[in-house]
Chains A and B, each alone.
Chain A
Amino acid sequence: MLKTLRDPSEKVLAWLLLTPAFLLIALIVIYPVGKLIYNSFFDLRLSGGANLGQFVGWLNYQDVLKDADFWHATQNTLWITLITVPGALLVGLGLALLANLPFQRKWPVRLALLLPWALPLSFCGLIFAWFFNTDYGIVNDVLRRLGQQETTMWLLRPNWAFAAICLTIIWKTSSFMALILLAGLQMIPRSLYEAAEVDGATRWQQFWQITLPLLMPSIVVALIFRTLTALQTFDIPYTMTKGGPGNSTETLAMLIHKTTIDYLDLGYGSTLAVFMFLISMAVTAVYLRRVGQTA
């Protein structure tokens, strides 16, 4: 025993070195997931209520399925995902193709792609809320200069607020997308393009026949990654509209946050989170299968 402690065999050492990581993951991920599912079967309204701590079976689940706010927030979340994921892909692909041109100085372009990534989502929401400010925002100023007569009340009208949020998310996430795709572009061998040139292929044909197929693995990984984060959208709508006007721009993550942190209803909040969890896990399963193939 003493000998193994002083001169641990490789195997023992390996597991010792992995222990801190596993302990932390157990504390912050595994245990909470179990606790989440457990909580979802209880009445845990900490703000008061006679039945605190009582087992309620599937009641919370039934309530969620009947909850108009839940369906509304889920719908918003899915729309945000369906709009901003392809949107960020298109903008990101455009940026990546442009950034792949042979520049003499590379740093301004690189920094311009990194800056939006490094900017906190919450700051991004604040800055774009200022852009879209009805009276003093630059968006309305530009529209006015272009000759638009009516002032758009961006963040004060449900549909416009939703559009503003989607545009902000696309701006924020397309740069990271571009960085991933740029790395993929740089791995495509130049000789393929040279051969295509010899065969007389146009640039357009080269893009469809060489660039896009070879970029596909990067695109798929970036898409799944982005989908997972889009499903959890919180920071940008929270800082731009707080879910308003009314609850028109509330996402599922915001509803969970409000239920749990503001109303201290941990049971119902947990049940909402279980639904979020199931949606995300379905996407993750697809993702991990992909990683398994490429590894």
Chain B
Amino acid sequence: MTTAAALWSGKRLRMAAAALIVVNGFFPALWILLTSLKSESELVRKPITWLPHAPTLDNYVHAFTAQPLLHYLGNSLMVASLSTVLSLLVAACAAYAIARLNLRYRQWILTAIVASSMFPLISLLVPIFETMRSLNLLNSYLALVLPYTVLNLPVCTLVLVSFFQSIPKDLENAAMIDGCSRLGALWRVVIPLSAPGVFTAGILAFVNAWDEFLLALSLNASAAMRTAPVGIALYQGEYSFPWPLISAALVITIVPVAVLIALFQERVIGGLTQGGLKG
């Protein structure tokens, strides 16, 4: 080995590489956390402070009292959960048909489902807006749940197809010999065995729905129906960038998702690269 190679595999270099990645990934979230702990007067001091001089939780109290943040979070939770459950149900059915049943053109069908997510959302916005408007669904949960379900269908289907394919067919046949119907075998054998896959697809769907902005902004803009990303982004229009309030609200909204991905990182990465590499 050359000296350069020895240095490359050296511990010090690994530490430096890890530090670089960690700082790059965490710094914006860390900075907004520090911002949220500063008082309003400290935030408009020049030159700016890096660490809060007198850390305070006032902004957090304010975030809940000055704006209906809890209500926005409730909306986000409802929309994200409902669309996650619906995506999983629909994707599980489709994935089972593609992975297991005697079906012609299965590759073609899978490609069609994946291709549906390739349509630019912004150009579908106009007709979806019009459809929801004429169905009187603007400013309702359903207006977002239906499109989000379709947005998440490709990734959920891809993840579930590969999980279903990994379950031995014999297990299913045994259940059917014991008197289960095919759907019974799907429900009692295949789905429980692919729980990790269902879970992975569910997390991806939930995070996507929790983060979505354009449709939520366009279809559910009334104050009572805003999701958290839209509600918080619209603070700035109302009081010209109230940073103390925004930073605290951002931290509150980021934490649940951050905890979710921290707990299940390996699965999330597996699902992402699977969905990403193929579709």
Interfacial residues, chain A to chain B (CB-CB below 8 A): 7, 10-11, 13-15, 17-18, 20-21, 24-25, 27-29, 31-33, 35-36, 39, 95, 98-99, 101-103, 107-131, 135-138, 141, 144, 171, 175-176, 179-180, 182-184, 197, 202-203, 218, 221-222, 225, 228, 231-232, 234-235, 238-239, 252-253, 256-257, 260-261, 266, 269-270, 273-274, 276-277, 280, 284, 287-288, 291-292, 295
Question: Which of B126, B127, B182, B233 contacts A239, CB < 8 Å?
Answer: B233
Whether the Cβ atoms of A112 and B277 lie closer than 8 Å is no
Chain B's interface: helix, strand, loop or mixed, by majority?
A: helix
Contact with A along B76-110 (1 / 0, CB 8 A): 00000000000001110110111001110001010
Give chain B nearest CB distance to A199 CB in angstroms. 14
A75 to B155, CA, bound (A): 31
Give chain A nearest CB distance to B228 CB in angstroms. 9
Chain B positions within 8 Å of A112 at CB level:
21-22, 24-26
User: Is B269 in the interface zone, CB < 8 Å from A?
Assistant: yes
Contact with A along B1-44 (1 / 0, CB 8 A): 11011001100011001101110111011011001000000011
A27 to B18, CA, bound (A): 46
Give chain A nearest CB distance to B237 CB in angstroms. 9
A124 to B253, CA, bound (A): 12
User: Is B129 in the interface zone, CB < 8 Å from A?
Assistant: yes
A136 to B94, CA, bound (A): 52
Chain B positions within 8 Å of A137 at CB level:
48
Whether the Cβ atoms of A25 and B48 lie closer than 8 Å is no
Q: List 28 A-B contacts (CB under 8 A).
A: A13-B182, A21-B93, A25-B150, A28-B124, A29-B124, A32-B131, A98-B20, A101-B18, A110-B265, A111-B265, A117-B272, A119-B254, A121-B211, A122-B233, A130-B243, A141-B48, A179-B273, A235-B213, A235-B214, A238-B213, A239-B233, A253-B122, A253-B214, A277-B119, A288-B115, A291-B278, A292-B111, A295-B278
User: Is B153 in the interface zone, CB < 8 Å from A?
Assistant: yes
Contacts A17-B101, A39-B127, A126-B232 hold; do A101 and B250 have CB atoms under 8 A apart? no
Chain B positions within 8 Å of A129 at CB level:
241
Chain B positions within 8 Å of A36 at CB level:
123-124, 126-127
Residue of B nearest to A253 (CB): B122
Whether the Cβ atoms of B218 and A261 lie closer than 8 Å is yes
Q: How many residues of B contact A (CB 8 A)?
A: 104
Question: Which of B14, B124, B147 contacts A101, CB < 8 Å?
Answer: B14
Residue of B nearest to A135 (CB): B46
Question: Which of B115, B254, B278 contacts A284, CB < 8 Å?
Answer: B115
Whether the Cβ atoms of A136 and B44 lie closer than 8 Å is yes
Chain A positions within 8 Å of B221 at CB level:
261
Whether the Cβ atoms of A107 and B96 lie closer than 8 Å is no
A43 to B50, CA, bound (A): 54
Contacts A32-B127, A126-B233, A176-B272 hold; do A136 and B46 have CB atoms under 8 A apart? yes
When A and B form their complex, what is the total count of cross-chain residue pairs whose Cβ atoms lie within 8 Å? Answer: 294
Question: Which of B21, B50, B91 contacts A21, CB < 8 Å?
Answer: B91
Within 8 A of A (CB), among B246-265: 246-247, 250, 253-254, 257-258, 261-262, 265
Chain B positions within 8 Å of A235 at CB level:
213-214
Whether the Cβ atoms of A122 and B213 lie closer than 8 Å is yes
Whether the Cβ atoms of A231 and B29 lie closer than 8 Å is no
Interface centre among B5, B232, B233, B277 (most CB of A within 10 A): B277
User: Is B149 in the interface zone, CB < 8 Å from A?
Assistant: yes
